[in-house]
Amino acid sequence: MSNEVNAATVTAPLSTDAWYGHKGNLYALAIVGLVSLGSIWTLAQDMRWIYLLVYIWFGVGYGIFLQYGRFCMASAVRDLFAVGVPRMAVGMLIAVILFSLTAAVVKVLGVNTFHPNPMGWHIVIGAAIFGFGIVFTGGCASGSLYKTGEGNLGALLVVLSISFSQAIYVTLGGWLDKLVPASWTASAAAKGMPEELTVTEGWFDQFTAGYVWDLQGGQLAEQLGFEGLFSGAFVGNAFLGAILPSLLLMIYLYQSAYRKGYQRRYKIETPRFGDHLRGIWSMITASRNTAIAGLALGVLAGGHMWATGALREHYEIFNFGELLVDMGHTAGLSIQETVFDPGYWYITTQEAQWGAWLLDKSGVQVTDSIFFGLDNGIPNPLINAPGWMSIGIILGAAVIALSRREFKWKKPSFETAMFAIIGGALMGLGARIAMGCNIGAFFATVTNGDLSGWVFLAGMAAGGWLGVKAFNAWMEWRAGSDDLAI
């Protein structure tokens, strides 16, 4: 069967130059060299920085494969509704299947760092706002980071907008407090939080302490009562929680977005079972790079959990904050002496911390919130371990983009810049309401048997669908009149 329709691989111009004759390769090498030298220098100061370096290097790994597969989870949902193409949705599901398996291995090894999210309506609502935003920014939270690494300054604007908008939402009070239901305020007040947090002021504190904390969450293995460690991790969490839903979604995607075209293309009149299987395979391999990236990201994400979990065991800590205190860095920690330290792939919270750190430096009170004051702290970005993961994604993407000659400084047009700022602010709002983005609240969640991630996906899909409608309407309105009749 010929494969010419599927051939998504770009044919690069043949170059007769030696690899070092190409500037991009030299810049890429320089970035790798700087990160390596920086790592060695940091370790020479104190070996315990290895905990932070794990975040950086896994970030570099994520960046490399995100760029390699042009892996944007935002377009998984968006392309499906906008153009009916399942390429990225399939790539994402491959990554989910692989990550669920590696996460199960890590769980059996006893160092799984995952914490389930509370299940509630806030996930659907937040995810829908997030899904609406990503259509306009042209990238999800991690997508904006790797596109920044390609030299796309519009994507950098999205990252900045996500950072500052979240920091601002989390600390906003005043008239917004009037929108908070009295039951949340009462419930938050009853939690007996330290006074300096002022949990009954600020809508986000009351939302967190008065609503989210009262919700239940969990992993499928426990919910179904799988007692054994092995059966719980592999059958309960990985197979039933992630692999089976992913396979069903793939069949649905084939049926709704791919089958018709495939049968017309190969002139199949009466498809048999084998034809459908070949069709599904053709859909999975429609973009080789994306499929490979999905596999690699799934393995990396599990490896990241394992590395952080093993280091926590080694240093006998629960949170990076304890190591920071040991090393004498106490500024920016939360009142529990913790910092944000998920132990797995996460994007939005550390970006909120960057924004909050700058706000704090400019005199805005941010540490009286539960989000920063109690849970995550606002460490200096230089010692913010998950923050370095985000920077690692940018650097990793830059390395591979430079060596593939895809790096290009791109200034956004006025329209793109406005979309980046407004869309980024919507993504920030959605991520805070849903308690995570498409990585933290979906990818890392469904793969560990926490079904709230599928709820996030449903909400993000709904928001994405509305976003595509709105974006199309905008394009119609802005388009030149001859656009419609070429």
Partner 1 sequence: MGWFGRHKRRQPSALKRVDQTVTLADQSALRVQVCIDCLGAVCPRPQLLTLRAIDQMSEGEVLELLVDNPSSAEAIPAMGMALGMTHLATLKDAHGWRIYVRKGYPK
Position of tokens 């519009």? Answer: 154
* Residue 132, token pair as written in the block: 């609406």
CA distance 94 to 257: 17
Residues 259-288 that bind partner 1 (CB under 8 A): 261-262, 264-265, 282-283, 286-287
Q: Output phi, psi for 327, to 5 deg.
A: -90, 0
Which one among 39, 198, 223, 289 touches partner 1, defined by CB under 8 A?
Answer: 289
480 part of the interface to partner 1, by CB under 8 A: yes
Position of tokens 């990201």? Answer: 297
Question: Which span (142-150, 213-221, 327-335, 425-433) binds partner 1, by CB under 8 A?
Answer: 142-150
Residue 128 to residues 122, 143, 279, Cα–Cα distance (Å): 10, 18, 31
CB of 407 to partner 1, least distance (A): 9
CB closer to partner 1 out of 200 and 282: 282
485 part of the interface to partner 1, by CB under 8 A: yes
**CA quadruple 376, 377, 379, 381: dihedral positive or negative?**
positive
CB closer to partner 1 out of 67 and 334: 67
CA distance 257 to 93: 15
483 part of the interface to partner 1, by CB under 8 A: yes
Please, are residues 190 and 173 in contact by the beta-carbon 8 Å criterion?
A: no
CA distance 247 to 459: 20
12 part of the interface to partner 1, by CB under 8 A: yes
Residues 373-412 that bind partner 1 (CB under 8 A): 401, 405-406, 408, 410
CB of 372 to partner 1, least distance (A): 32
Residue 447 to residues 217, 350, 363, Cα–Cα distance (Å): 15, 21, 40
Question: Which span (50-58, 144-152, 182-190, 213-221) binds partner 1, by CB under 8 A?
Answer: 144-152
Contact string (CB under 8 A) for partner 1, positions 49-88, x = contact: ------------------x-xx-x-xx--xx--xxxxxxx
Please, are residues 456 and 436 in contact by the beta-carbon 8 Å criterion?
A: yes
Longest dimension (CA), the chain: 72
Residues 420-479 that bind partner 1 (CB under 8 A): 468, 471-472, 475, 477-479
CA distance 282 to 311: 41
Question: Which span (240-248, 253-261, 300-308, 343-351) binds partner 1, by CB under 8 A?
Answer: 253-261
CA distance 81 to 59: 30
Instruction: List residues binding partner 1 (CB under 8 A).
Output: 2, 4-8, 10-13, 67, 69-70, 72, 74-75, 78-79, 82-88, 135, 138-139, 143, 147, 150, 152, 154-155, 257-258, 261-262, 264-265, 282-283, 286-287, 289-290, 401, 405-406, 408, 410, 413, 416, 468, 471-472, 475, 477-486
